[in-house]
A and B are shown apart, each in its own frame.
Chain A
């Protein structure tokens, strides 16, 4: 590959979790004006933004203006792990966050992935990297941490899809087979050229299977931004990795605390979540049993086809006996791979490939939600989604919306380019995935833009009914919902639709706590949960940790030693996080400090969205399908249950038609939604319009002059909570 630009630097070692330097790569503005800089990390940045997503938001804030749009050159992709990222003593410590302005939501987005990229970036000398501008040709950015050099190379790869690119680049930059594990690649795929669902694939090399494996920062369209910048791939290489590469203050504590969790995983995973043998796909039948599995665009919560997608069916298809951690030391090993799997469609038809996953979200989204209960189909769809660079969650939910529009007659076979897109139409749906990747025709190009744009364009181009589409489209803030049915949990309406970036379950998953356990009886209780859990979970994104070892494995006596919501917090694991944070950074925080660290960034991100013209109450949209049944067939699956809900609301169902009952229940739940919004905003220290108050930002210490000025322009006295 032709070298276009090269920059030498002296890598700084990580000390107390930080190298205190970030890498800036400017790609010019289609003019070949490449630029490199080392930027210093200030104490204020560490104190207020911690790392990972916090660093990403701060650097992006400094890089863009309120007028910047996702496809402007000044938009950035910022990738950062965080201070704990890269330790090897505690499971799940290879996570990183990618922050960018999203094509889907037109505001900030942050998307996380495992893999080796962030740890190797840190050990190459950088706490974060900023990628800005647009190259004049397709390039590969290569960070050689071993030799202190960053290069920009002209890509000569014909196949732009992730597995081809990743495999090639591991081969290209490695000295020998053993060296391949010292490399990590970030790529998208050909779909990123056409779709706003473009994901970023982060690689790690699997020496036992001798293939590069992929983990996805799937959501929000980061891959689309990467493609828009003309970057085929980012590559980092660093061969010197040890258990003390982060420069921890107290390595002994890391080893001791990590050892406790490794023992829990070894002793209890098989009787708890089975992450090592099945991974998150263990949820398939559980969600079905609790009416939470999305079936036919979230219309229904269960289906008789569950036996065909039972986790046992997936377990049989995964390679056994090869634990798959995506960073050194992760004994939870949730990553799963199939044995060689023969593809039956698409450009690689007939080839045998190793497929990563499916995880639960993919098994449900590219499965039950589109009416397909066939693991072989889902595995193939999963492979091509990753390969093409498509987020499997948005793809699954978006396709489910398409299928329902098709079945309702809002779009027809002529519109779809001849495809039968009924629920369960395996051939038609798979072909649409291939067409989306190629941008093959008008319909696939519209579908590729995401559900929010589909609503608009289906109405404009095909005359589809806008009201119906608004009711049934499971999107919030432009992002497709992840794969849980939330209708019967008021708290989870907030867990999905009162979030920073749209209905993604990484803020709060409160369905059991609310709907099954009945632990959140009042709006104040729900608001408290929607304060604590989003903030606690956000903390992982600041420091570079995976959420799964928090509560997908628990101490044996957690469920009897602690009662109520306290047990759900897994107090001993919270203390582990305090201990390892202090052990790495040398600080002396207590558990309450974790929430404050997160709250600071949570509010900053909300304010950032306000700066981008979003971030108000009107932007927290919640579709009718998210609140309850929209059509009669949904009601008639559980008529007694829904009649009971009407009675609880003080509405006598006697004598009402099902249509009328739906109208009453929807109106009642919409009023409940508004009450929830008020309580949550008040608890978060926001006004009625969802804007953080000046008191809140002063308390958190993020009252920077530009932030204060922005809030003063937007805060209205009549919108204050009294």
Chain B
């Protein structure tokens, strides 16, 4: 209950009612907590209280230099029973920030803008090297910094995500890997 301190203490006149259930002290305490929760839900707007159903893990940028775009990667986890549709992202550290995908066909790599990405219910979606990525067009950041990216979803929710800024070799211990898109290469004849 992170917002509990902002909630006023229950009025003392509620306590006698509580004493009447002394044999079930625990249940009594739960009643008080429920009252607190009810109180806080009345005081605070619901958006500030509910945990977003989508969280991002291992989010990072590969920053090279200000003149060239930085690629952003992350894993989105949806804990709700509804699919969540990511429709865009923005960051003060990027200028333009767009969802992109590297597509390989016929031995040619192609960058494709992605209008939306669906994170399945109770599932994950990975932005990984050689596949889906965020294109941070004018990176204003430095290695070692953490910058905020705000993800926008189709249901109107916005989720701020901290991105760690790494240099060209990426997070320590990671092997640059684009193999997971199953790229096939045809040799030119």
The judgment on whether A and B are partners is: no
A residues within 8 Å of B by Cβ?
Answer: none
B residues within 8 Å of A by Cβ?
Answer: none
